[in-house]
Copies of this chain bind each other. A is one copy, B any other.
Amino acid sequence: MVATTDKPKTLALEDFLALPETKPASEYADGAITQKPMPKGKHSRIQSRLAREIDQITESKKFALALTELRCTMAGRSIVPDIAVVRWENLPRDEDGEIGDRFDRHPDWVIEILSPEQSVTLVMEKIIFCLQQGTELGWLIDPQAKSVTTFQDGLPTIHLVEQEDTRAIAIMTGLEEWQLSVQDIFDWLKV
């Protein structure tokens, strides 16, 4: 008998999606599963407060929703951004007009908040992947560097508390009246 040279079997996307959800959520790319890190204090506070700030403005106008831990499946990959902001017209809906459970689309604005043990490079790769699928805006919040990096068309823009950057951080088109600086975000950590 000739030894087979097949590569080890990798999991198909649909098989991954059929698995029970984990906590923290698991993500899928290229046949491999990776589990997100367990969120800690700073991560959790920024995630909750930022989602609230955005949702507060966008829901009443029926402009968008800010959804935490929404599974977004697209282009053969399944990710769970810390915050996915989805424009009203792009929300998944079931037959009753309620928000649907499965979201097979890129978020319109993707926000990731780093955990201490997470790789900035790998999280940035995920954000850039979203932009390549059509996401308008990406934010990468790094509590260790006290920074917010925004991704749009061109080079990323980095806002650092250390540089006393008071510029308004780039926001999703249509929400420009809402202005937030990197200082505002990290002030939320003072409790």
The quantity of this chain's copies bound in the complex is 2
Chain B residues with Cβ below 8 Å from A160 are 122, 125
Contact call B153/A154, Cβ cutoff below 8 A: yes
Residue A131, interface by CB 8 Å: yes
Chain B residues with Cβ below 8 Å from A119 are 120, 142, 144-145
Give, as a whole number of angstroms, the nearest-CB distance from A187 to chain B.
19
Residue A151, interface by CB 8 Å: yes
Interface SS of chain A: mixed
**Interface residues in A, total, Cβ within 8 A:** 25
Chain B residues with Cβ below 8 Å from A155 are 128, 131, 151, 153-156
Query: Which residue of B is nearest A158, CB measured?
Result: B125
Central interface residue in A122, A124, A140, A153, by most chain B CB within 10 Å: A124
Chain B residues with Cβ below 8 Å from A30 are 162-163
Contact call A158/B128, Cβ cutoff below 8 A: yes
Q: Which of B120, B128, B151, B154 contacts A120 (CB 8 A)?
A: B120
Residue A147, interface by CB 8 Å: yes
User: A: which residues have CB within 8 A of B?
Assistant: 29-30, 119-122, 124-125, 128, 131, 140, 142, 144-145, 147, 149, 151, 153-156, 158, 160, 162-163
14 examples of A-B residue contacts, CB within 8 angstroms: A29-B163, A119-B120, A120-B120, A121-B140, A121-B142, A121-B145, A121-B149, A125-B158, A128-B156, A131-B155, A151-B155, A153-B155, A154-B154, A154-B155
